[in-house]
Amino acid sequence: MELPKSLSTKENTQLKEILARVKTYYQDAESGHDWLHINRVWNNALQIVKSEKANAFVVCLGVLFHDIADPKFYDGDTEIAPKLTRDILEEFEVAEEHIQQVLDIVVFSSFSASKTAEKLPDFIEFKIVQDADRLDAIGAIGIARTFNYGGYKNSPLYLPGDDSYNNSTIQHFYDKLFLLKDLMNTNAAKEIASKRHEYMLAFVKQFKAEWEGKA
């Protein structure tokens, strides 16, 4: 993984060591939230950080920890991730103010938390990680992830007609993926998202045309 150029020597060393440690926690993660997802979100975040005044060290830490111990896979236990994050960051002597920000990122970056939380953090590093994570849910990667998850859940590919009881993978585009471009915080992410959005629209259009034998 490429490291941002703006880091101090100390941060550079810390980040490399933390990265190696955190990687081990993603070994058994499912493919939508595994280490490869972290790599892609990292690349998205580095792209966004270039056009924002942000602390790249906090952004990178936020990316590394944002899916650690996802409560979805720990019986809804939301305490594990922040505790693990604090323990590791303290062990590597990260400053308390940075730990606080990374914890906010870990707690609030999920789609469900962002919908239910009364007030979301509004520091730029949080917004960048949230954008970078959401970008990985759309476009060609988003399509691949969605069908992969649908396969894991044994969902039907597509159920034409009434959408209200539809658990098909194509329905998921309408329920979530097509909404994401309007939720981006930063201009850089908005720009990337709009291209990825167009790509998904074209995909679904072609999919339905093929379904009906019209393409």
Nearer to Ni ion among residue 136 and residue 166 (C-beta): 136
Q: Specify the amino acid at residue 71.
A: P
59: tokens are: 């952004």
Nearer to Ni ion among residue 11 and residue 67 (C-beta): 67
- Which residues, 6+ apart, have CB-to-CB distance to 55 below 8 Å? 98, 125
| Site residues for Ni ion per CB under 5 A | 67, 133
Nearer to Ni ion among residue 63 and residue 99 (C-beta): 63
CB of 114 to Ni ion, least distance (A): 12
DSSP letter for 29, please. Answer: -
Nearer to Ni ion among residue 67 and residue 131 (C-beta): 67
Backbone angles phi, psi at 127, to 5 degrees: -60, -35
Nearer to Ni ion among residue 11 and residue 133 (C-beta): 133
Nearest to 150 by CA among 207, 107, 76, 209: 207
Q: Assign residue 45 a region: left if phi > 0, alpha if psi is -120 to 50, beta otherwise? A: alpha
With vertex at residue 189, the alpha carbon angle to CA 186 and CA 193, rounded to the nearest 5 degrees, is 135
155: tokens are: 């969902």
Nearer to Ni ion among residue 131 and residue 133 (C-beta): 133
CB of 32 to Ni ion, least distance (A): 8
CB of 129 to Ni ion, least distance (A): 9
CB of 33 to Ni ion, least distance (A): 6
CB of 104 to Ni ion, least distance (A): 15
- Cα separation, 113 vs 115, in Å, equals 5
CB of 37 to Ni ion, least distance (A): 6
Q: In the chain, helix, strand, coil percent, each to 5?
A: 65, 0, 35
